[in-house]
Structure 1
């Protein structure tokens, strides 16, 4: 791939704008030597204004999504893409969220430009465990653990029972719920079905991958070993 197309696809500008960056000498190697559009250079050896080039296609990012932002590109309010460098919104192929967290749910969110990886993670066959912590409006009534684990629980307007889910109770109104499905507003609807209401909801892990040490609104690129943790049991 020509360097102009490569850099433009990473969102640094249109091909015309990137060509101008070459003419201005802003694109160099690690030693500061000016590169030209027809040079053959490894991705890792390209610098723009002295900074390493963004990762190539096939990336997976982990974000600790804060409250008040949505996963939609079209929402008139704040969206998760606003928390990334502007050029990440202009990459081709585009970054997409791996599933969604609603505006009132915080925590672990993945984004990728790798369609195959996205479908691998969200596929029901992957059986990826999604772990949430919630605070509730009312005390638990006492039978929620057995009900959620039964594999027979039905949500309103659905015809297929939920797969078994694990409920850990920290306090009468503070719980952790581990599920392997991703139905619409599933956690909130599960507690609503018991006559309760979720006040706060945070996704803390996917498999064994967690947001530990990642501040709200922050993000980082996942390495191969990080991605492998997504597909490991949360209890392993």
Structure 2
């Protein structure tokens, strides 16, 4: 190769190669970096906002990007329209005003045995219902409502705060059926009196139905009501002079104990979740 050829080749390589690399770098990074720097809300920790929204079950990541761009999403009270924005688990993320949970919603139904506390651990060595569902999910679920330590029956767990709040304070109550064992036979007159509604602390507690259980002594009673007040069933019978020896919740909303042995749990079906949301 001649001197002119070498010189020409060197000149070509230096200008064109270097120019192309510089141009490619500018195209690849420059439009993104300034955009991130200009936003005072951006952070580098946590997870992408679209993933957070998708994890909550609202929509897919691609759809989440569309909603973000449209201004449907706020983080800690500020509307975010930036693609790639990151949030932390403790951030208040809302979609159309509704606070989201970054975990996939989980719904577990337990047939609680007696001897397990629903909240807290007030006695040394006492066990809680969380032990019974600990292997069902890695999500942080909580029980909806309460059952006494010695009470048995259906107990719902979820990390869906919106549904839990709705079920805890339903406008018209939530259907519940209990099988109750009393310390003595109940008279027909007392049964009819409870059916008409019992007054507790000045308020009438309506009872949907109450009856003796077929082929059982009159110490065995079935009662259906919608009140979610604490200890309500025990208080109803105590007001009539009876002590409750055993309490078993056999229906909660539209959920039953069918094919669910004592101490076992199962995940709700999609239709069951939809039905609960309509209560």
TM-score between both structures, scaled by the size of structure 1: 0.67
Greater relative contact order (Cα 8 A, min sep 6): structure 1 or 2?
Answer: 1
| Aligned residue in 1 for 2:196 | 150
RMSD: 2.6
Cα pair 1:128 1:230 within 8 Å, conserved: no
SS of the residue corresponding to residue 189 of structure 1 reads helix
1:107 is matched with 153
Q: CA deviation at 1:87?
A: 8.4
Name structure 2 gaps, 5 residues minimum. Answer: 1-46, 56-102
Pick one of 65, 82, 86 that aligns with 2:131: 82
- Out of 185, 195, 202, the position equivalent to 1:139 is 185
From 186, 201, 207, the counterpart of 2:247? 201
2:227 to 181, 187, 207: 181
Q: How big is the shift at 1:228?
A: 4.4
Q: Which residue of 125, 141, 150 maps to 2:171? A: 125
SS at match of 1:140: coil
Deviation digits for residues 159-190 of structure 1 (CA, Å, limit 9, x no counterpart): 21112331021231111111100222111111
Could you tell me which residue of structure 2 aligns to residue 61 of structure 1? 108
Give the whole-Å Cα distance in 1 for the aligned partners of 2:120 and 2:104. Answer: 20
> 2:179 & 2:266 partners in 1: Cα distance?
22
In the alignment, which of 150, 157, 164 is matched to residue 207 of structure 2?
A: 164
Return the structure number with greater helix share.
2
Larger radius of gyration: 2
Alignment of 1:222-233 (within 5 A): 222-230=268-276
Q: For residues 139-175 of structure 1, what are the alpha-carbon distances to aligned partners after superposition, in whole Å with 9 as ceiling and x for unaligned?
A: 1121233222223x212xx121112331021231111
2:236 alignment partner, SS class: helix
CA distance in 2, matches of 1:187, 1:136: 11
What TM-score, normalized to structure 2? 0.57
Contact 1:65 1:80 in 2 (8 A): yes
Deviation at 1:134, TM superposition (A): 0.9
**Distance in 1 (alpha carbons) for counterparts of 2:233 and 2:154:** 15
Aligned to 1:190: 236
- Count residues in correspondence: 177
**Alignment check: 8 A CA contact 1:207 1:231 kept:** no
1:50-80 alpha-carbon deviations (Å, 9 max, x no partner): xxxxxx5211110011110011144451001
The offset of 1:202, in angstroms, is 0.4
